[in-house]
Structure 1
Amino acid sequence: MKIDLLLENAFVFNVFRKTFEKKNIAIANEKFYYVSEASLRELEPTEILDVEGKFIVPGFIDIHMHIESSMIPPSIFSGVALSYGITTVVADSHEIANVFGQAGIEAFMQEKTDLDIFYAIPSSVPSTTPELETTGGLIGLNEVASLLEHPKVIALGEAMNFKGITDEPNSLIRQILKKVQELKPLMPLEGHIPRVSGETLAKFMHAGLTADHTQQTPESILEKVSSGVFLELQKKSITPENIQTVVDYDLYEHIAIITDDIMADDLLKGHLDENVRLAVACGMPVEEAIYTTTYTPARRMGLQDRGAIASGFLADFIILDDLETIGIDSVYKKGRCVHQREDKIVYPLTKPKFPDYFYDSIHCKPLTNKDLEIHVDGNQDSVTCNVIQIQEIGTFTEHVQREIPVINGILDWENSGLSLIMVMERYGKNGNIGYGLIEHSLKEKGAVATTWAHDHHNLMVMGTSIEDILLAQHKILDLKGGYVVSKNGELSASCPLPIGGILSDENVYTLGNQLKNVRQAMVDLGYRNTNEIMSFSTLSLPVSPQLKITDFGMMDVHTHALVPLIEGKE
């Protein structure tokens, strides 16, 4: 047997025993051939690599993530992910599906990448129903049946329609779940189960959902794992108290470390590897952190050919020069070196090319002063308004009420200490505009606008002055999508996203710095959150508690009831 590559004197991670062992590794035909303490030079290797003092671990596997959150298409994302040791991902591309439907998903799957990208069928496009949010595309039963035939599809993406799952047996999401269970009974079904417990949790599981990736607490971890839920821990769930719970109760078989969403500026610093480091810093043994980023995610998704360094498995691996810090020396995909430390990230030789209409997808009117006048019936000095209150940690919000002055029959929101928020339908379907008020957002005179608004991706603008809202919204239209920040009547930052209003074909360095400037401009306006951009962009996500906004208006996430801006007004 002639082999392609021999790695000698390595400390090899054995996932089955969760230990490092001094071994030699033979690789042939893109797979691990033999792992042994004995010399393997008699196998006549084409190449020999001495890795004395280094550690070799399987390539990282991210089983719950959204490529679109990085704001780059798969062909560009591939090189970035590989540079951080990620060799396989399972992408739920519900963002591009909300904009372009099945055509968006198929455009992604057609892109050529060195990274192995499998797909989870977006199960909630839209995240609720077309009567509560307008999207560019829909994923229904016919689309699901068609996508199930694609070889890259290995899971059903996160089911998010809370009311449809728990209280409506004939809802589209329940029909989709039933269809998948009939056609692919062994396929993993992913859930979006925030702040859910007791009988309501049982309803999610009874519908077939067996995993959750949302923000956890020690109590939710114990309840969900004890109930049979597989937990996928993203950054906001990797806290000292949560990790201590995992350690104390030895829950490693029931969890995987994932990313969910990594935005373009954060992608300059790391990806799944950063969450591995965070888990270790929070108290998880490094061996368990590697185990839950390689073997448990592979098992969860039925990927039998990866996640371990063993004969017959794909030769996807990372060479580490420092174990505790996950210091990456080099990354190998199918036995071929695809990244070495200090390398610049390799991008495709040509920019990705999508259909022309992908680059011209923002179809809504420029705002005028009249659109920002909120009229109040009757002769009142003030009215009680329903308000979305932002939290400084995470993306959950609270529903509060505030008394707002009325001047000459018009709500004086500019002097209320709150921000006005508007969601404008951008697909040219109905011209809807939803209005709301936000507390704990912008403290200075300015505005933020985006077309990257989870998950419907309509045009959303929030501000404290008419002048800045108009400036930001008009600039977004000029850019054909993206992020814009204005302050005191002047543009302060922008990040163009012309592909569907959610993606750029720039390299990650350029894009990341553009987004970094947007983030800083938001901070300069007084926005405070552990992830300012994600906090803003999820104000429009009507499946993440508690009060959010779509182009139909503000909505209670659990009941799906529309909440009027002015209390008592229909």
Structure 2
Amino acid sequence: MERTKEGLKERIRAGRGKIAAEKVIKGGQLVNVMSSEIYPADIAVYKDMIAAVGDVEDYIGPDTEIIDATGYYLTPGMIDGHIHSECSKMSITSYAKAVVPRGTTSMISGLDEYISVSGLEGLQEVLAEMKQSPLKVFWGAPYKTPYTIPKSTIAFNFTEDVHKEVQKWPECYGVWETVREFLQEEDEDTLGAIAEAWKNHLPVFGCAPMARGNDLNGYLCGGVRLDHESYDHEEVVEKMRKGMHMLIRESCVTHFLEENIKAVTEVNPAFARRVSFCTDDVVPSDILEKGHLDNVVRLAIKAGVEPMTAIQMATINSAEAYRIDDQIGSICPGRIADILFVKNLEEFEVSKVMTNGKMVAENHKLTYDLQAPERSSVLKGALKCKLTTKEDFEYKASIRNGEADVLALDVKGPFVRKRRDVVLQVKDGIVQPDPEQDVAIVSVLERFGRNGNKSLAFCSGWKLKKGAMASSAAPDDNNLVVMGVSAEDMSIAANYVIEQGGGQVVVADGEIIEFLPLPVGGIVSDAEPEEIAAMEKKIDEAARDLGSDLPNPMMYMFFLPITAIPDYAITDVGPVDYVNLRTFEPVLNVREK
């Protein structure tokens, strides 16, 4: 309900019982995250709002629907405090189908991957889509785009002037994912975004992995309220002692909860009240097999956190951190009616889900048919890349035959790339990839028709023995990333993704082995979560058939353009040394033979 004067009158009358409730939930045990109590209480719901909690007999009218909650604990809907839903390859509609039945009813997101490929026009379409979804999205305007240093190429640049416009939008709840280095380097657009947020009384969300000491102090003096990325619990403790709200991240590729929760279980239980959860990057197969935030709650309980405390971390703590606790995060009068029906708090299996006052899911499935909107050309546009040849993926040397000393990007985890020095052969003027040494070629092609940039570098860790793979979904820029040990297969992979209008592909010996289409912006799909999960598994299996033993070969590859975490990355402007914030030449020296 809108909070106009007339809308407020209606809300107040419903709260006073002057208007009968549309639904009453009877017989359940209320999990009161505000008072840390569990007790019997009924709940009156009017439209999308909780009207009353406790004895609600006065709210029952002749047409009031009675929902029997006998045997259930009633908890607030859960909040994912930081998520790039686009990295799941599911559209907002598909993503809602996957996570809402698991009890996630709200998320905080910058929707930045959509912005990078379609600008504000595409963002408006996604914001309209989410309003038809059972999943609420509290949008934070990205502090700037692109996030990269040096600046890479995307379809739309988010600047200080853009912030002056969008921070006035009713959908804007803060400044999203402010990366520490941009504050330290005193980037003008970033400082402008924060200054504008102060004027508008909007919180600033952070991203400061490994920030300690003086660098952390400077970051906090820049006005950042919370952070979602800490690599050990000592880092969590320092940040919390210095006033930050902390989100513990447990994604499908970065499992930080077991380590970071020690700040609560081993250092200081009082920290718990300002700790919340996020998943950041997830894939549909993980959600379908393990769950979403419900799984994170279970992991926290297993780690020694009391069920009430774990539920608070998944609900009210996040709402308070983001200053949206007047709307969500608790089962209290005036809040949106997002309510989970749970049989056992220790096991935390979500049986039924109410969002916005409507029963929408049962037994991990939506109970109604949710359809994606018709996509406009803004989000269905083709990749504006020229078709490639194998020569585009050959690293030319200054000698005809001999050896080259090469700096390779050596993957140590999805977000950790270290330096690896290798010696590669030069044949016919081309520096050769070397499967025996686990050295492949990686390239990023600008795909928005702005400059035609194409970069080349060398990487290790994938153990590819043959073939290539490519993806047009590659945060944070979503340019076309291609990796392989065969220039011919790399060209075939790139061209297939271009011709199909976006997706992920694995190629071997000149043949397309598997393809996952991503027609919405070249980054997501409207297909059912189960369909995307099945294709995703086939893609990763095909990559493993090329030789890779990584848990998520394609995801590890498409994270390579993220420069915000040291030490190395690659974007369309070249391979990046993020410690020194500059591009570099990967071939250090050549010797004629």
Query: What TM bracket, shorter-length normalisation?
Result: over 0.9
* Counterpart in the other structure of 2:147: 127
Give the drift of 1:346: 4.1
User: Residues of 2 paired with 1:313 and 1:458: CA distance?
Assistant: 41
Give the drift of 1:215: 4.2
| 1:332 and 2:354 are equivalent in the alignment | yes
User: Residues of 2 paired with 1:483 and 1:170: CA distance?
Assistant: 34
User: Residues of 1 paired with 2:306 and 2:89: CA distance?
Assistant: 33
Give the drift of 1:200: 1.3
Report the AA paired with residue 442 of structure 2.
Answer: I
Give the drift of 1:403: 1.4
Change (3 A) 1:413 1:156: same
Report the AA paired with residue 94 of structure 1.
Answer: D
Pick from 206, 211, 222: which aligns with 1:196?
A: 211
* Counterpart in the other structure of 1:78: 96
Give the drift of 1:474: 1.8
Give the drift of 1:383: 1.7
Give the drift of 1:39: 7.5
Give the drift of 1:444: 2.2
In structure 1, runs of 5+ residues without a counterpart are: none
User: Residues of 2 paired with 1:446 and 1:55: CA distance?
Assistant: 52
User: Residues of 2 paired with 1:244 and 1:541: CA distance?
Assistant: 28
User: Residues of 2 paired with 1:305 and 1:375: CA distance?
Assistant: 58
Pick from 260, 263, 266: which aligns with 1:242?
A: 260
Change (3 A) 1:463 1:347: farther
* Superimposed CA distance per residue, residues 516-561 of structure 1 (whole angstroms, 9 cap, x where no aligned partner): 2112222333334444333211111111221000011111223211
| 1:32 and 2:47 are equivalent in the alignment | no
DSSP-derived class of the 1:280 partner: helix
User: Residues of 1 paired with 2:47 and 2:502: CA distance?
Assistant: 44
* Superimposed CA distance per residue, residues 281-328 of structure 1 (whole angstroms, 9 cap, x where no aligned partner): 333222111101110111112111321122232221000122222111
* Counterpart in the other structure of 1:411: 431
Matches within 5 A, 1:166-315: 166-167=184-185, 169-182=186-199, 184-185=200-201, 187-235=202-250, 236-248=254-266, 249-250=268-269, 251-269=271-289, 270-303=291-324, 304-315=326-337
4+ long deviations beyond 6 Å = none
Q: Is the 8 A contact 2:438 2:462 kept in 1?
A: no
Give the drift of 1:387: 0.8
* Counterpart in the other structure of 2:13: none
User: Residues of 1 paired with 2:296 and 2:232: CA distance?
Assistant: 17
* Superimposed CA distance per residue, residues 399-430 of structure 1 (whole angstroms, 9 cap, x where no aligned partner): 22211122233212245531100001111111
* Counterpart in the other structure of 1:148: 167
In structure 2, runs of 5+ residues without a counterpart are: 1-16
* Superimposed CA distance per residue, residues 367-411 of structure 1 (whole angstroms, 9 cap, x where no aligned partner): 2122232222246621211110111x4421112221112223321
User: Residues of 1 paired with 2:264 and 2:508: CA distance?
Assistant: 45
Which shifted more, 21-30 or 136-145?
21-30
Pick from 411, 421, 439: which aligns with 1:390?
A: 411
* Counterpart in the other structure of 2:5: none
| 1:480 and 2:504 are equivalent in the alignment | no
User: Residues of 2 paired with 1:213 and 1:529: CA distance?
Assistant: 25
User: Residues of 2 paired with 1:345 and 1:549: CA distance?
Assistant: 43
DSSP-derived class of the 2:395 partner: coil
Give the drift of 1:82: 2.0
Change (3 A) 1:343 1:101: closer
User: Residues of 1 paired with 2:541 and 2:331: CA distance?
Assistant: 43
Q: Is the 8 A contact 2:98 2:284 kept in 1?
A: no
DSSP-derived class of the 2:105 partner: strand
User: Residues of 2 paired with 1:409 and 1:336: CA distance?
Assistant: 66
Which shifted more, 211-220 or 432-441?
211-220
Which shifted more, 352-361 or 250-259?
352-361
TM-score by length of 2: 0.89
**What value does the CA root-mean-square deviation take over the aligned residues?**
2.2
User: Residues of 2 paired with 1:345 and 1:284: CA distance?
Assistant: 32
Q: Is the 8 A contact 1:244 1:284 kept in 2?
A: no
DSSP-derived class of the 1:326 partner: coil
Change (3 A) 1:179 1:24: closer
* Counterpart in the other structure of 2:70: 52
Give the drift of 1:499: 1.7
* Counterpart in the other structure of 1:23: 41
* Counterpart in the other structure of 2:114: 96
Q: Is the 8 A contact 2:391 2:487 kept in 1?
A: no
Give the number of equivalent residue pairs: 561
Give the drift of 1:508: 1.9
DSSP-derived class of the 1:65 partner: coil
User: Residues of 2 paired with 1:75 and 1:514: CA distance?
Assistant: 18
Q: Is the 8 A contact 1:79 1:346 kept in 2?
A: no
User: Residues of 2 paired with 1:39 and 1:511: CA distance?
Assistant: 44
User: Residues of 1 paired with 2:579 and 2:225: CA distance?
Assistant: 20
Change (3 A) 1:333 1:294: same
Change (3 A) 1:215 1:468: farther
Q: Is the 8 A contact 1:414 1:465 kept in 2?
A: no
Report the AA paired with residue 241 of structure 2.
Answer: S
User: Residues of 1 paired with 2:144 and 2:589: CA distance?
Assistant: 31
Change (3 A) 1:554 1:70: same
* Superimposed CA distance per residue, residues 102-134 of structure 1 (whole angstroms, 9 cap, x where no aligned partner): 2222121122223222211012310125x5311
Report the AA paired with residue 36 of structure 2.
Answer: K
* Counterpart in the other structure of 1:439: 460
| 1:453 and 2:474 are equivalent in the alignment | yes
User: Residues of 1 paired with 2:384 and 2:430: CA distance?
Assistant: 28
DSSP-derived class of the 1:544 partner: coil
| 1:115 and 2:132 are equivalent in the alignment | no
Change (3 A) 1:334 1:554: same
* Counterpart in the other structure of 2:10: none
User: Residues of 1 paired with 2:425 and 2:377: CA distance?
Assistant: 47
* Counterpart in the other structure of 1:139: 158
User: Residues of 2 paired with 1:147 and 1:230: CA distance?
Assistant: 25
Q: Is the 8 A contact 1:238 1:282 kept in 2?
A: no
* Superimposed CA distance per residue, residues 200-256 of structure 1 (whole angstroms, 9 cap, x where no aligned partner): 112221221122112430111111111222211121354333223222311112211
User: Residues of 2 paired with 1:430 and 1:4: CA distance?
Assistant: 57
Give the drift of 1:345: 6.2
* Counterpart in the other structure of 2:526: 505
Pick from 309, 320, 327: which aligns with 2:342?
A: 320
Q: Is the 8 A contact 1:471 1:489 kept in 2?
A: yes
Report the AA paired with residue 218 of structure 2.
Answer: K
